């Protein structure tokens, strides 16, 4: 396999874009990435895009072809990939394979979702399609309820508190306040979270990531060619993916995601590194409890100690491991198909030293962790500074 590098990246602001269409968001992010890579469209050999549910959100499937068309890239082949909220991460993985295999040289990979054109109840229903439609959604189990079950069990087994979960949201809003692309750029306090409206006990509205519009894109090239495009290539050191049962009730444990642990093991082995080598991680905090479980499952803290670590500030930018410097899903926003690519964009900026106002000092190795549904898909990438 050839080594693969990111040579350019870009994204739209995440938020409620009532004045921009799906197509416009794609073009904005895609053009920024292409310009950042200093290439023209003619150089692009192929593309991949992660989108979860455009058919339900905007009545449009066949997103790959739509993007080739609206980006002016025809006849370049562009393929849509879907794995619920992990769609972006999976698209990155396909792009990685396309370059690693030698089939293509320059590949653009995007993620996009336009969610705010539907009302909230309909969005919740569409997102429910990421879980088990027949055994969960049909019976009324939507995602806040599913993650609330995990939170309750984590609290029961390990003494994790609502305050610990709230501290994740406070930290991510603080990080997001330094990110001009974030949906919410305001800081909050523990009390903001604890006093906010209950969604599914114990998760309150500030424990939940928002409904968002947004797009993000990266440009990939063989590492051996990367320096001809950029002075600051970022190598993709590993790409790993794992599956678990789609329904929560079939799992061995509710206090962590097995797919995350398996994918992380594979990724660490592929790159020849371990948790202590990672300087920063963009991980899948769809709910605050999800971040606490993830920092345990990824090996940064022991199982059961994630909540305490969050409360003690050990996951802040200047902590032991910088978690979600972009603001994460909570504060930067969560246009589901775009999230996995936004994570790669943030890690790229960090490894290049371009994350102004929220830069992790001397960052050399970064990780992205993107989850589909309640953990039935986990996809993990590791990235290394090569400038």
The residue ranges that bind a copy of itself (CB under 8 A) are: 1, 21, 46, 52-53, 55-56, 58-66, 68-69, 73-84, 90, 93-94, 97-98, 100-103, 125-126, 128-134, 137-138, 239, 241-247, 250, 258-259, 262, 372-373, 376-377, 379
Residue where the block lists tokens 């439609």 = 133
Q: Between residues 244 and 279, which has the closer beta carbon with respect to a copy of itself?
A: 244
Least separation in angstroms between CB 87 and a copy of itself: 9
Say how many C-beta atoms besides its own lie within 10 A of residue 103's C-beta. 11
Least separation in angstroms between CB 240 and a copy of itself: 8
Residue 185 to residue 172: CA distance in whole angstroms: 10
Task: List the structure tokens of 96.
Answer: 């990685």
Active site residue 249: no
| Residue from 17, 104, 175, 334 carrying the catalytic annotation | 334
| Residue from 9, 85, 208, 332 carrying the catalytic annotation | 85
* Beta-sheet pairing, 46-50 with 107-114: parallel
Active site residue 286: no
Of 127, 175, 221, 202, give the one whose Cα is nearest residue 329: 175
Say how many C-beta atoms besides its own lie within 10 A of residue 224's C-beta. 10
Least separation in angstroms between CB 213 and a copy of itself: 16
Q: Between residues 143 and 383, which has the closer beta carbon with respect to a copy of itself?
A: 143
Least separation in angstroms between CB 124 and a copy of itself: 13
Of 378, 355, 383, 370, give the one whose Cα is nearest residue 278: 383
Strands ordered across the beta sheet of 322-323: 46-50, 107-114, 213-222, 4-11, 234-243, 377-385, 365-372, 280-282, 322-323
Give the angle 217-129-259 at the CA atoms, nearest 5°: 70
Q: Between residues 40 and 276, which has the closer beta carbon with respect to a copy of itself?
A: 40
Residue 69 to residue 171: CA distance in whole angstroms: 40
Residue where the block lists tokens 């990110």 = 179
Give the angle 250-251-254 at the CA atoms, nearest 5°: 130
Least separation in angstroms between CB 293 and a copy of itself: 17
Q: Between residues 34 and 76, which has the closer beta carbon with respect to a copy of itself?
A: 76
Least separation in angstroms between CB 90 and a copy of itself: 5
Q: Between residues 56 and 177, which has the closer beta carbon with respect to a copy of itself?
A: 56
Least separation in angstroms between CB 379 and a copy of itself: 8
**CA 171 to mean position of chain CA atoms:** 17
Give 101-105's long-range contacts (Cβ < 8 A, gap of 24+). 101/1, 101/2, 102/2, 103/46, 104/45, 104/46, 105/45, 105/221, 105/222, 105/225
Catalytic residues: 85, 334
């Amino acid at each position: 396999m050839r080594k693969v590098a990111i040579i350019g990246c870009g994204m739209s602001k995440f938020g409620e874009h009532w004045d921009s269409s799906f197509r416009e968001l794609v073009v904005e992010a895609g053009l920024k990435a292409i310009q950042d890579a200093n290439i023209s469209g003619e150089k692009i050999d192929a593309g991949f895009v992660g989108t979860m549910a455009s058919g339900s959100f905007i009545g449009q499937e066949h997103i790959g072809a739509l993007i080739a068309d609206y980006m002016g890239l025809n006849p370049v082949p562009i393929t849509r990939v879907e794995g619920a909220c992990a769609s972006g991460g999976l698209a990155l993985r396909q792009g990685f394979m396309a370059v690693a295999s030698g089939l293509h040289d320059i590949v653009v990979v995007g993620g996009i979702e336009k969610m705010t054109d539907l009302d909230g109840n309909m969005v919740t229903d569409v997102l429910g399609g990421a879980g088990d439609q027949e055994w969960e959604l049909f019976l009324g189990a939507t995602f806040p309820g599913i993650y609330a079950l995990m939170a309750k069990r984590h609290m029961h087994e390990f003494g994790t508190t609502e305050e610990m979960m709230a501290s994740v949201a406070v930290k991510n809003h603080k990080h997001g306040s330094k990110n001009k692309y974030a949906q919410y750029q305001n800081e909050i306090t523990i009390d903001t979270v604890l006093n906010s409206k209950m969604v599914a006990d114990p998760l309150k509205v500030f424990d939940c990531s928002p409904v968002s519009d947004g797009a993000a894109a990266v440009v990939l090239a063989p590492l051996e060619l990367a320096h001809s495009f950029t002075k600051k290539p970022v190598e993709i050191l590993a790409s790993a993916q794992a599956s678990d049962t789609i329904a929560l009730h079939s799992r061995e444990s509710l206090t962590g995601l097995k797919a995350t642990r398996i994918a992380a093991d594979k990724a660490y082995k592929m790159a020849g590194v371990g948790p202590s080598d990672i300087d920063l991680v963009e991980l899948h905090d769809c709910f605050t409890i999800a971040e606490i479980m993830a920092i345990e499952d990824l090996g940064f803290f022991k199982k059961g100690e994630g909540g305490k670590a969050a409360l003690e500030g050990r996951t802040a930018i200047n902590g032991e491991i910088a978690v979600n410097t972009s603001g994460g899903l909570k504060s930067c926003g969560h246009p589901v198909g775009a999230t996995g690519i936004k994570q790669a964009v943030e890690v790229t900026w960090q490894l290049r030293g371009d994350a102004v106002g929220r830069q992790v000092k001397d960052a050399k190795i970064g990780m992205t962790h993107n989850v589909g549904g309640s953990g039935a898909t986990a996809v993990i990438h590791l990235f290394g500074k090569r400038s």
